[in-house]
Amino acid sequence: MINIENLSYSYLEGEPVLKDVTLSIEKGYVTGFFGGNGSGKSTLAKILAGEISSRINGAIRGIPESRILLEQNSHSNAFFDLTVDEHLSLYAPVLKYAEAKEWARQMEASRKRYPDELSGGQLQILGLMVLMEQGRELVILDEPTNHLAPENQRKILKWLRSHCVECKTYGIVISHNRELIESYCDEAYFFQDGVVSRYDRRREQEKKNDVSTN
């Protein structure tokens, strides 16, 4: 289990982006982070991925060494001097998953193109294909459904859930979309102005029921 205790973080001399955050992430489950823009979701993702390591107050325990973050800006996940084929040959020479094989067929006509010649959806799929074949113990998807058709959105989220269960890995999905988090995540945390609270799905449903009956 990954345990985060009383974690706070600020960019340089600015206001804290994360304020006294305490939460747990269980292996074998998908955990969701949701909230508005600038609420601290992506900052915590970068801390967990090891991309931010300084000016952190608090404790993080149980974080695995084998981890990967796919950010919402797909361009940052691609090397622009490599074609699609070269990306796959280098990072995913053997496609094990049915979803990745299907996406490879969909991108057949674009295999010789470079990332800056791809659409936003194609870039996202390229990043997801590489990620799926990496076999990391912690997989973090930051706004993974950006630019994707609904069918591909369902594919990647279903894959992450089955991957976490079968391989006993950690999965984190970050989104501003609460409905998506409710549909595909086993546990969820709500971010607002750097403050993080556990999202109680049953309690929220009871609130909705109370409103509809009044």
Higher pLDDT, 77 or 168: 168
Taking 50 as the threshold, does the pLDDT of residue 190 lie above it? yes
pLDDT at 158: 86
Quick: pLDDT tens for 111-163: 898 888 888 778 878 888 887 777 789 999 998 877 778 888 888 888 888 88
Taking 70 as the threshold, does the pLDDT of residue 209 lie above it? no
Average pLDDT, integer, range 165-186: 91
3-state SS, residue 42: helix
Taking 50 as the threshold, does the pLDDT of residue 211 lie above it? no
pTM across the whole model: 0.83
When the pLDDT of each residue in the chain is averaged and rounded to a whole number, the result is: 85
pLDDT at 75: 53
Quick: pLDDT tens for 71-117: 865 555 556 688 888 888 887 777 788 888 888 888 888 889 888 88
Indicate the pLDDT class of residue 12, thresholds 50, 70 and 90: confident
pLDDT-wise least confident of 19-28, 30-39, 138-147:
138-147
Indicate the pLDDT class of residue 186, thresholds 50, 70 and 90: very high
Amino acid found at 46: K
* CATH code of residue 88: 3.40.50.300
For the chain, the domain total comes to 1
Enumerate long-range contacts of 111-117, CB under 8 Å, 24 or more apart: 111/83, 111/84, 111/85, 112/83, 112/84, 112/85, 113/83, 113/84, 114/80, 114/81, 114/82, 114/83, 114/84, 115/75, 115/78, 115/79, 115/80, 115/82, 115/84, 115/87, 116/75, 116/80
**Full residue range of the structural domain in which residue 18 is found:** 2-213
Taking 90 as the threshold, does the pLDDT of residue 5 lie above it? yes
- Nearest Cα to Cα of residue 28 among 65, 2, 59, 47: 2
CA distance 141 to 68: 9
